[in-house]
Structures are given as C-alpha cells and as structure tokens.
Structure 1
Amino acid sequence: MSDPSRQLAIDLPPRPAHGRADFLASECNRAALERIDRWPDWPGRRLVLYGPASSGKSHLARLWCAESGARYVPARDLASELPLANGALPPAMVVDDAEAASERALLHLCNSCAEAGMALLVVSRNAPAAWAIDLPDLASRLRAMPAVGIDMPDDTLLAAVLIKHFADRQLRIAPSVIGYIVPRMERSFAMAASLAARLDELALAGGRSIGLALARQALAELGAETA
C-alpha cells in the first residue's frame, strides 16, 4: 500500500502569466512599455521591439495583440501564414523572433501590411541595423521602422523575474534564496529562466525543497560564481 504522506512528484510544464499585471516594469524596459501603451499613436503603425532573450518582448507583444486585435505569428510559422487571405485580414500582425524568419516571407508580410493598412509589430533580439539581411528591400523597410529596445536588467528586476519564473512553475522560494542567487548569477533574463528551470528539475528529481544547497548546485552547473 502506498504511503499517503508521500507527495507524488509530477513534472508539470510551466504556465507563464501574460497579463498586464504580470509584466515586470523597470527602467530597462520602461521605454518599450510606454511605446506599446502609446498604441494606436504609432508613426506609420509600425514598430520593431528588440531586446535580449527572455526579456519580456513576447509578453509585451501579446499585450499589444490584446489591445490591437493583432494576429501573433512565430517566425517559424510565418511562411505558412502567407499569403494573407483578403477576406480575413486581421487589423494587425506580430511576427516574433523575426530574425529567424524567412527573409522573403518577412518582406512579403511588410508589403502586405503596407498595402492593406495593417499595423505591424516586429519582435527580435537585435535592432534591424544589426541584422545580417541579404534582401536590400527588406533591409530598407525594417531599418526605416521606428524601433525601441529593452536593456539588460538590474538586480531588483532580476529578483522579480526569478520570482515570476518560479511562480509560473507553481514554486515558492524563500527571499533568502533569491537574495543568494541574484548577486552570483549572470546578469541576464535568459539566465534567470535557465536557473528557474534547473532548480525545478533538481527539486523534482530529488524530492527536495529549493534551498541554498540546491541554489549553489544550480549556479555551479550553469557556470556562475558561488563563493
């Protein structure tokens, strides 16, 4: 007979919260948030939103979708979304991770949005000026679009991002553990996501709560300083 006092470990996927109240505003992303909030007062109804991995770009894009009625399309699916059907044109389009999109598909999207009067949000890691673009027409269109970026996070935002990642995984972490991790981790949104994922895995595998010992292990595995 199984022991009812034992907790069954279930590997549940994280459920990211993408509501407005869930977006963590800070100085590093304030300009981007303000530009999204300025909709529909966008010059040319176009915008490039760029920033580091896991910095909240997709979160902002989904907030804009809710406001504008835009269709959200990951770069990998863009080619299959085109051509846009004339009878079912959305009022706006978002292409996420745009640097990974087919250049011809992205150019077609830019042209289609311009011809149909649809708004367009292009989401990427880098500003278009830093992209390696082979098609001159695409380069000129993207580089002519207004752009706003998200900078790297400060300690306060990193702590808040970690807490959100853990909350998305239905995990509660003591403030002392967050306080231990933040000054020792790589200063990036992506590392915050990686640490939360690894700590979740370690806790699940060992049937342990997340404390300083697991934090040290995860930091060491991911190449951070643990002194």
Structure 2
Amino acid sequence: MKQLSLPFADETCYAAEDFCAAPSNALARDWLARPDSWSNGRLVLWGEPGCGKTHLLHVWTKSHNATLLNGPELRGLIRPRGPVAVDDADIVPEPTALLHLLNAAAESGYAALMASRLPPARQSIKLADLASRLRASETAEIRAPEDELLAQLLARLVAERQLMLSLPVRNFLLTYLPRTAAALREAVARLDRITLDRGIKITRQLAAEVMQDMLDL
C-alpha cells in the first residue's frame, strides 16, 4: 500500500460552525452532547487521522470551558480545574501522567474527553491501572467519511483558501484520492501552494501531478 507524504503544515479552523456533520460522526456528536451519561465520566473518541476528532475536541472544550491538552506533551502531575480533554491520548510519553490526570478528574467530578486512533480495547497499554481506566470509559467511533461528507469538506477547504476548482477537478480529486479527510486537506494545501508559487490555474493535469507526488509514484 502506498504511503502518503504529508509535509505541509496547515492552520486549521476549529469553529463549531465549520465542522461537517454527517452520519459517520453522528455517534460521537451524540455522546459529546451528553457528558453526564459517560461511563465513569470519561469518553474516548477514536478513528483514523483526519476524521474530525481534534475538531470535535476543540468544539467541546470551548462549549464546556474545558482545558485542552496535547497527549504527546503530557508530562508530570496535572490537576485539572474543570473538565479536561486530551488529544492523541494514545501517544502520551508518560502514561503515568495520563493516569494521574484521569484519577484527579474523577476525584473532582470533572468530565474527561480523549481522542485516539484506536479504541482502548485495541491499544497496547502497558500500565495496568491506565489500561483499566481507559477500558472502563465510554467510546465512540468516528467512521470513514461518506461521499457527501468528502464533497462537503472539499468545498469548504477550497472556499477557505479562495481557490477556483472546476467541477471536473473536484470530481477527479474525490474519485482518485484516498478516501480520507487528511488526503483532501493535503491535496488542497499543495494545490494552493503551487498556484501561489507558479501563478497558474488549477487544472485536472495539475491535480493529477499533485496526487502522483502525494502517492510517491
């Protein structure tokens, strides 16, 4: 299987109105609206990269005055002062830091929201107490995006960058790119960069060149 090369960083808007609601993320949205129903006050959103987990964490954090933490930067003892969310909770460098955070949140009665690529039951968690806490949490999968969601996301990405993409070019990208939000974001970012650098229009041929470069053919 060919691997995507994703070198371009991009500043993403995480406003609630910019989230693309669809059946594939309906379960996650439903659970986020009912934190009082979470098992042990915890919820783990899981799904492939780019499926919307981070966006939903930002929306929930803002609406609940919660603190958003980045899993890869989670270290030491952190005592939350309210609801807390942890992105990339499956790649924390110090598992004990996440364990202490979850324990402290539970002791204070604060909700804890996490995002990961896999559900806790399928993660290799060496710290037994942490594995127990995570596997006793509520989980909600964000499934692969539908055709309508991908088309909606592409339209939004194009509008954000004020790009001119003809219908044939859009259909080409939606048909031949990997069916992930991450691939769409990367393709649009690359097309935007090329048009700025070269001062040219986006054509089907240019889109094909970008896709070929992404797939490293």
TM range (shorter): 0.7 to 0.9
Pick from 189, 195, 199 the counterpart of residue 187 of structure 2. Answer: 195
Q: What is aligned with 1:29? A: 25
Percent sequence identity over matched residues?
Answer: 35
Q: For residues 87-114 of structure 1, give each alpha carbon's deviation from its aligned partner in whole angstroms, at most 9, with x where no partner exists.
A: xx42201010111112111111111111
Contact 2:68 2:84 in 1 (8 A): yes
Separation in 1, partners of 2:135, 2:124: 12
Pick from 136, 140, 147 the counterpart of residue 128 of structure 2. Answer: 136
Deviates more, 1:107-116 or 1:197-206: 197-206
Residues 1:169 and 1:90: Cα distance change in structure 2 (over 3 Å): farther
Residues 161-180 of structure 1 aligned to structure 2 (within 5 Å): 161-180=153-172
Cα offset, 1:218, TM superposition: 1.0
Q: What is aligned with 1:46? A: 42
Taking only aligned residues, the RMSD between alpha carbons, in angstroms, comes to 2.0
Task: Tell which structure's C-alpha radius of gyration is larger.
Answer: 1
Separation in 2, partners of 1:151, 1:224: 26
Contact 2:41 2:106 in 1 (8 A): no
Q: What is aligned with 1:96? A: 87
Separation in 1, partners of 2:97, 2:161: 35
Q: What are structure 1's unaligned runs of at least 5 residues?
A: 1-12
Contact 1:163 1:173 in 2 (8 A): no
Contact 1:72 1:95 in 2 (8 A): yes
Separation in 2, partners of 1:24, 1:182: 16
Q: What is aligned with 2:69? A: 73
Pick from 125, 147, 151 the counterpart of residue 117 of structure 2. Answer: 125
Separation in 1, partners of 2:167, 2:128: 51
Match of 1:203, as an amino acid? T
Match of 1:100, as an amino acid? I
Pick from 70, 78, 84 the counterpart of residue 83 of structure 1. Answer: 78
Aligned length in residues: 208
Contact 1:155 1:183 in 2 (8 A): no
Q: What are structure 2's unaligned runs of at least 5 residues?
A: 1-8
Q: What is aligned with 1:3? A: none
Contact 2:54 2:87 in 1 (8 A): yes
1:158 counterpart SS class:
helix
Contact 2:54 2:115 in 1 (8 A): yes
Match of 1:16, as an amino acid? T
Residues 1:143 and 1:41: Cα distance change in structure 2 (over 3 Å): closer
Q: TM-score, normalised by structure 2?
A: 0.87
Separation in 2, partners of 1:170, 1:38: 36
Q: For residues 146-199 of structure 1, give each alpha carbon's deviation from its aligned partner in whole angstroms, at most 9, with x where no partner exists.
A: 000101112221122222233333434333321121111111122112212221
Pick from 207, 211, 215 the counterpart of residue 215 of structure 1. Answer: 207
Residues 1:39 and 1:172: Cα distance change in structure 2 (over 3 Å): farther
Contact 1:16 1:168 in 2 (8 A): no
